[in-house]
Structure 1
Amino acid sequence: MIDNLSKGPRNAISVKEAQQRILSQLHLGGNERIDLSEARGRYLAETILAPHPYPHFRRAGMDGFAIISQDTCGAQTDQPVWLEIVDEIPAGALPSISLESGLASRIMTGAKVPDEADAVVMFEMTEQIEQGGRTTIQIKREIEPGKNITPIGFEIKQDDLLIKEGTRISSGEISVLATFGIHQVLVYKKPVVAIFSTGSELLDIDEALQDGKIRNSNAYMLACQIRDAGGEVIILDAIPDDLQIAKARVTEAFELYDMVVTTGGVSVGDFDIMADLVQGEELTLLFNKVTMRPGSVTTAAVRGRKLLFALSGNPGACFVGCEMFVRPAIGVMQGKDHPFLKEITGILATDFNKINNFTRFVRGHLAYEEGQVLVYPASLDESSVMVTIKDSDCLIVIPPVSQAVPKGQKVQVLLLDGSGIL
């Protein structure tokens, strides 16, 4: 099915079909073992089971006295029981005296409970008295067995699942791994992604502005998106509108890197060289048109086991194309279970008046108001508009419609990195 597209016209396919064609070409990358201190943001390449229960000893749940609960049977306000304090156990220390009936050990939160004790009574429930060289505590109520003691394996039992393969490691995972002394982890290598822009109109970002030219901002935007997705980035020099130069540069990039992402040159004009390049025999075209706006001319091809994504030169379309196709590809290469943008349902906060024959992915922002998730479309959402990208934390999905979508309509919403509402 894919091969017969290699030299054909632009046949538009759905976003889901385009994503599936990409997924069919992907494979897991290699892996490496790294120190836990370097593991933030990486994807685990192994499933980790608990090497021991946690906690691995019975610990006190609060400051108080470790006791044998049977000693408190019948205790009440007018008939208290008295226990002698014979030991003090701070956190990190071990009991030094075996408890017997009538004895108690002062104990701190987190400390190991004596083997003979089966309860901890909090300080506030006791009255301490010094008498005849002995220190005793008075208890005026019965204490049930297990009170204020965290048992062995309360949180995790030995061989329980700690973290499954493909999990992105963040602070919670770091805490768990460190707790179990797992100081090195096997992670998937980050795919190295080459980025270059095409267009004779492009300036480097440190060049002075020139009439008729624009700075190459897309490459830096893509680099940030790809790093957020877990990839390593190599920004290559922009290339002019020259098919042979582009062909040589793409060929070289395929030899050196795991993935190639370009921006610009994918329309149908005389100088849109990427549209011509992907028709060559060296590449197998996956698709060259998607029923989406912005970014309908987003193109993908494969050479061997490596993908080329040719994204629009318009910043809005470039941004959306990267989120919809490049980001999930990078995730899958690192074993990520759910590589696509998280989806929720929101309520359109304003009318959306554009008529669409393709599904539109509208930049917008979320707000939580009166118990509802509202979504506000960006005021400027044209493909060529750059400035509203920074103000957007979601993409609002507007299906093909023949009339305006009214305020209050429920819509599908894709959450971008940094969406902090949920």
Structure 2
Amino acid sequence: MNGNQESVDHKFQRRALQVSEAQARITEVANVLEFEDVPLNQSCGRYLAERVIAPHPFPAFNRSGMDGFALQAADIKNCGNGNRVWLEIVDNIPCGAVSTVEITTGTAARIMTGAQVPEGADTVVMLEVTETRVTAGITYVGISKKQDAKRNITPRGQELSQGDLVLPAGGMISAGEIAVLAAFGMDMVKVHRRPKVGIFATGTELLEVHEPLQPGKIRNSNSPMLEALVRETGGEPIMLGAIVDDLELARGKLKLAMENYDFVITTGGVSVGDYDIMGDLVREQSGDMLFNKVTMRPGSVTTAAVREGKLLLALSGNPGACFVGFQLFARPVIGLMQGAAQPFLPEWTATLGADYPKVNNYTRFVRARLEIREGSLYAFPATLDESSVMVTIKDSDCLIIVPPEERGLTAGAKVTVLKLPGEIRG
């Protein structure tokens, strides 16, 4: 089956799409949010809404690379073999000052690291290879080694010329980008607004985190996980709690959420059980259904729709499936809403570190741990990677993609992995 084909589950009226097609459908309707200007010191983690062009060269002047003496290289071309040249010191230039004295033949200026090189000088000799003397009230610097022009000088515009592209639109702002923006005097930065993401869970079996455990009940771990994932992706999560399996109650909460937030994510209630109400809610308005089944494990029942111009993503209530569904569908949507140029998880190639014997009819996204051994990248699949398993999420820094045509994989095979955010933990 190619990426544009659909399979039909007639029993539950679900059309199963390939992951790539489902991603294309949901990202196509992910609207970029409006601009806003934020202070530079609050811009880390945001996405640039417009490209940045250098308003002036950088550096903006010829800059000394060290403490020493600025002079003309021609004056010391005959130094060496015991021949020393003495030059009159005509100025002392601290960092931040601009000399008004032009360097001419036979003269030099004391200069500090980072200071603007005076007119006429074309090289800077480091302080450690010089000596000074005073004769008749005039201070001279002695140099006994020749040096070429342009040495120890950072030329104007070496890094960027005026009009050069500094930063493209859609890039995430981190420490390096902040340094560049600061260097060009940009104290306010134009970024896209962070999306407000409503999150709620369904299930009569759910307890709040602070509640004591009861027979037959489980604590709602998916909502806090989704809250953290939304923050990690740059969105603003709004926690709407958990509701029992009541269709009217869920309908009202969903309507309110769609009216007030940019994107709504639910967890639970999308399977085929008698009390799986989210599937029923989405099917009530089937005209704006994007997909309600994906050829993936875990999370094949992942569902997406558009309501009143807003995106709804209904994820499985199983923790593993909820986590994978977020990474594949919610993460790129939240990124695109902020104008991210690269909203999808990066694909890497790794060596499989242990056998993975499972056979699947659908593409499987296996939680795994990356490890670098002797300069090579290895991916070790989680021992427990079932949809319902929650604990291995914390140990995973990638997802191994196992295509359906693979009838089990052996250690040493080359595999494609989706790198999850954060450092390699192995």
TM-score, normalised via structure 2 length:
0.95
Structure 1 portions without partners, runs of 5+:
none
Query: In structure 2, what is the Cα distance between the partners aligned to 1:201 and 1:160?
Result: 58
Mapped partners of 1:10, 1:141: distance in 2? 82
* 2:371/2:424 contact within 8 Å kept: no
Which residue of 1 is the match for residue 353 of structure 2?
Answer: 349
2:204 equivalent in structure 1: 200
SS at structure 1 position matched to 2:280? helix
- Give the Cα separation in 2 of the matches to 1:264 and 1:335: 29
In the alignment, structure 1 residue 332 sits paired with structure 2 residue 336: yes
Aligned amino acid, residue 335 of structure 2: G
SS of equivalent residue, structure 2 residue 293: coil
1:149 aligned to 2:153? yes
Alignment match, 2:43: 39
Contact 1:364 1:396 in 2 (8 A): yes
- Report deviation, 1:157: 0.8
CA contact (8 A) 1:69 1:145 kept: yes
Does the 8 A contact of 2:56 with 2:162 survive in 1?
yes
In the other structure, the counterpart of 2:392 is: 388
| SS in structure 2 of the partner of residue 11 of structure 1 | strand
| Aligned partner (choices 94, 101, 107) of residue 103 of structure 1 | 107
Q: Deviation per CA, 1:216-266, whole angstroms, max 9, x where unpaired?
A: 110010011111111111000211101111111111111100111000000
Say whether the 8 Å CA contact 1:44–1:185 is kept in structure 2. yes
Please say if residues 26 and 305 of structure 1, whose CA atoms lie closer than 8 Å, have aligned partners that are also in contact.
no
Tell me which of 52, 60, 84 is aligned to 2:56.
52
Do 2:258 and 2:308's aligned partners in 1 also have CA atoms closer than 8 Å? Answer: no
The aligned runs of 1:34-183 (5 Å cut-off) are 34-183=38-187
Q: Which deviates more from structure 2 when the two are superposed, residues 309-318 or residues 140-149? A: 140-149
Aligned letter for 1:183? D
Q: Matched residues in 1 for 2:83 and 2:327: separation?
A: 71
Corresponding residue for residue 26 of structure 1: 30
- Please report the RMSD computed on the Cα atoms of aligned residues, expressed in angstroms: 1.9
Q: Deviation string for 1:15-59 (max 9, x for gaps)?
A: 001001112212211111111111111111111111111111111
CA contact (8 A) 1:368 1:421 kept: no
**Structure 2: distance between partners of 1:43 and 1:411:** 31
**Distance in 1 of aligned mates of 2:50 and 2:298:** 38
Q: Is the 8 A contact 1:265 1:313 kept in 2?
A: yes
Match of 1:296, SS state, is: coil
Are the counterparts in 1 of residues 251 and 281 from structure 2 also a CA contact under 8 Å? yes
Residues 64, 75 of structure 1: alpha-carbon distance in 2 compared, 3 angstrom cutoff: same
State the distance in 2 between where 1:221 and 1:279 align: 27
The alpha carbon displacement at 1:282 in A equals 7.1
Report the count of equivalent residues: 420
Which of 379, 388, 397 matches 1:375?
Answer: 379
Structure 1 residue 299 corresponds to structure 2 residue 303: yes
* Alpha-carbon distance in 2 for matches of 1:316, 1:73: 72
Partner of 1:226: 230
1:191 to 180, 191, 195: 195
C-alpha distance in structure 2 between counterparts of 1:338 and 1:37, whole Å: 23
Give the drift of 1:77: 2.5
Partners of 1:294 and 1:382 within 8 A in 2: yes
Distance 1:180 1:384 in 2: 51
| SS of corresponding position for 2:226 | helix
AA matched with 1:360: R
Q: Which amino acid in the other structure matches residue 303 of structure 1? A: R
Q: Which residue matches 1:308?
A: 312
- How far, CA to CA, are the matches of 1:70 and 1:114 in structure 2? 16
Give the whole-Å Cα distance in 1 for the aligned partners of 2:207 and 2:123.
Answer: 73
Q: Determine the C-alpha separation between the residues in 2 that align with 1:416 and 1:93.
A: 48
Q: Secondary structure at the match of 1:321?
A: helix
Aligned CA distance change for structure 1 residues 133 and 410 (closer, same or farther; 3 Å): same
**Conserved in 1, the CA contact under 8 Å of 2:69 and 2:126?**
yes
Give the match's secondary structure for 1:28: coil
Kindly provide the CA deviation profile for residues 395-421 of structure 1, in whole angstroms up to 9, marking residues without a partner as x: 111111463210000000110011348
Gaps of 5+ in 2: none
Q: What TM-score do you get using the length of structure 1 for normalisation? A: 0.96
Cα distance change, pair 217–376 in 1 and its aligned pair in 2 (3 A): same
Asked if 1:411 corresponds to 2:415, the answer is yes
Query: What residue number does 1:246 align with?
Result: 250
